[in-house]
Amino acid sequence: MQLTIENVSKTYPNGTQALKDVSLTIPPGMFGLLGPNGAGKSTLMRTVATLQEPDTGSIHLGDIDVLADEHALRKRLGYLPQEVGVYDNVTAETLLDHFATLKGIDGRTKRREVVDALLDRVNLADARDQKLGGYSGGMKRRFGIAVALIGNPELIIVDEPTAGLDPAERVRFLNLLSEIGEDSVVILSTHIVADVRELCTQMAIIRAGEIIFEGEPQSAIADLDGQIWRKTVTKDTLPDHEAEFDVISTKLVAGRPVIHVHSAEQPHESFESVEPDLEDVYFTRMKDGAQPEPAPAVS
As averages over each run of 10 residues, the pLDDT of the chain (299 residues) reads 95 95 94 92 94 96 95 90 78 92 89 93 91 88 88 89 79 80 85 88 95 94 96 96 96 94 96 96 83 40
Q: Enter the DSSP assignment of 98.
A: H
Beta bridge partners, 187, equal: 31, 157
Q: Quick one: residue 38, left, alpha or beta (phi over 0 = left, psi -120 to 50 = alpha)?
A: left
Q: How many CA atoms lie within 13 A of 60 on its CB side?
A: 10
**What beta strand segments (E) does 139-237 contain?**
155-159, 185-190, 202-207, 210-215, 228-232
Contact 56, 7 (CB under 8 A): yes
Could you count the other beta carbons within 10 Å of the beta carbon of residue 3?
22
N- to C-terminal Cα distance for the chain?
40
Contact 205, 282 (CB under 8 A): yes
Contact 7, 57 (CB under 8 A): yes
Residues 6+ apart with CB under 8 A from 226: 264, 273, 295, 296
Output b/e per residue, 190-228; b: 16+ Cβ within 10 A.
bbbbebbbbbbebbbbbbbbbbbbbeebeebbebbebbb
Name the helix (H) or strand (E) containing 69.
none
Taking the C-alpha atoms of 126, 132, 133 and 135 in order, what is their torsion angle to the nearest 10 degrees?
Answer: 40
